[in-house]
């Protein structure tokens, strides 16, 4: 008996996200504790604070093939390090300008603010960015690969 299999070649985004040790990581932890599902497309990198975001990290993520990048930060006014998240926002805007000069869509880079208990927001951010990236398409630096796929 043969199984009828139809493999769909769909683009599955590869997303890199930077989160801070405080609100960002705690929101991720909360989402995990509540068993909230969110897309596995997102790979996280933890920073002590979003003020540690360096434009080089963002560019390196794209150069290594990330389809989009986003930051998860404490809400403005509630940064554990007072104003690190504001520095992160300023650097993100600077990085967006550089990405536009290079020829990337600035929508591939974003930031989401949430507190440590906002597990739903954390999952929603991952979902939002994954869908946005799916619409934008793969990183223009790489050829779309036959990754992912479903069987019927």
Partner 1 sequence: MIVAEQKSLDEIKGLVGDAENVLVVGCGTCVTVCFAGGEKEADIIASSLRMSSKLEGHPQNVRSVTVQRQCEWEYLDQIETEINEADLVLSLGCGIGVQAIAEHYPESWVVPGLNTTFLGIPEEQGVWAERCAACGDCILGLTGGICPIARCSKSLLNGPCGGSEQGHCEINPDVPCAWQLIYDRLNEKGKLHVLLDLQPPKDWSSSRDGGPRKIVRPDLRLLEEED
Residues in contact with partner 1 by CB under 8 A are: 54-56, 59-60, 62-63, 98, 101-104, 140-141
C-beta closer to partner 1: residue 101 or 152: 101
Residue pair 53/18 in contact (Cβ under 8 Å)? The answer is yes
Report the residue number, 36 or 141, with the smaller CB distance to partner 1: 141
Question: What is the CB neighbour count within 10 angstroms for residue 93?
Answer: 12
What's the closest the beta carbon of residue 73 comes to partner 1, in angstroms? 21
Half-sphere exposure (Cβ direction) of 99: Cα atoms closer than 13 Å: 28
Burial 1-37 (b: 16+ CB within 10 A, else e): eeeeeeeeeebbbbbbbbbbebbbbbbbebbeeeeee
Q: Would you say 44 or 57 has its CB closer to partner 1?
A: 57
Find the shortest distance in angstroms from Cβ 116 to partner 1.
30
Beta carbon of residue 151, minimum distance to partner 1 (angstroms, whole number): 34
Q: How far is the CB of 104 from partner 1 (least distance, A)?
A: 8
Nearer to partner 1, 7 or 142 (CB): 142
């Amino acid at each position: 008996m043969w199984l009828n299999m139809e493999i769909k070649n769909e683009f599955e985004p590869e997303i890199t996200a930077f989160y801070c040790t405080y609100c960002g990581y705690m929101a991720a932890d909360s989402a995990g504790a509540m068993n909230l599902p969110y897309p596995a497309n997102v790979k996280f990198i933890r920073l002590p604070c979003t003020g540690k975001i360096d434009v080089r990290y963002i560019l390196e993520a794209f150069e290594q093939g990330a389809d989009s990048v986003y930051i998860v930060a404490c809400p403005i006014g509630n940064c554990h390090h007072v104003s690190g998240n504001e520095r992160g926002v300023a650097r993100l805007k600077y990085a967006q300008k550089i990405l536009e000069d290079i020829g990337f869509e600035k929508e591939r880079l974003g930031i989401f603010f949430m507190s440590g208990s906002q597990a739903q927001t954390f999952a929603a951010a991952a979902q939002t960015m994954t869908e946005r990236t799916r619409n934008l398409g793969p990183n223009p630096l790489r050829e779309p690969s036959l990754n992912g796929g479903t069987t019927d």
